[in-house]
Amino acid sequence: MYVVIIYDVKIDRIDAVRHILKKYLTWVQNSAFEGELTVGKLEELRILVSHVIEKEQDSIIVYTVNNPTWLEKAVWGREKGTTDNVL
């Protein structure tokens, strides 16, 4: 499945969350990653992230589509995302 993840986590935990996400997905913007993942890998990612975030404060939204061709993407302005820039 194709996955887009956007996160809004407290600054103390941003590096830890990014560190996990970049093992599974490609950085596309300040607070967003995307990529192809199996259901099993997404669950693995969810578990790793759940150990790092504070569930009462942090929020991570996970959008998934079963078929990547269903999801169209456009960029207005600058195209930022490459995994090179993130860390």
Instruction: Give the binding site for its own copies (CB under 8 A).
Output: 4, 6, 8-9, 28-32, 46, 49-50, 53-67, 70-80
Residue (40 or 77) nearer to its own copies, CB: 77
How many other C-beta atoms are found inside a 10 Å radius of the C-beta of residue 18?
17
Least distance in angstroms from the C-beta of 18 to its own copies: 14
- Asked whether the beta carbons of 21 and 53 are under 8 A apart, the reply is no
Query: 41 with 20: CB under 8 angstroms?
Result: no
CB atoms within 10 A of CB 81: 17
- We find the least distance from the C-beta atom of residue 57 to its own copies, in angstroms, to be 6
The least distance separating its own copies from the CB of residue 46, rounded to whole angstroms, comes to 6
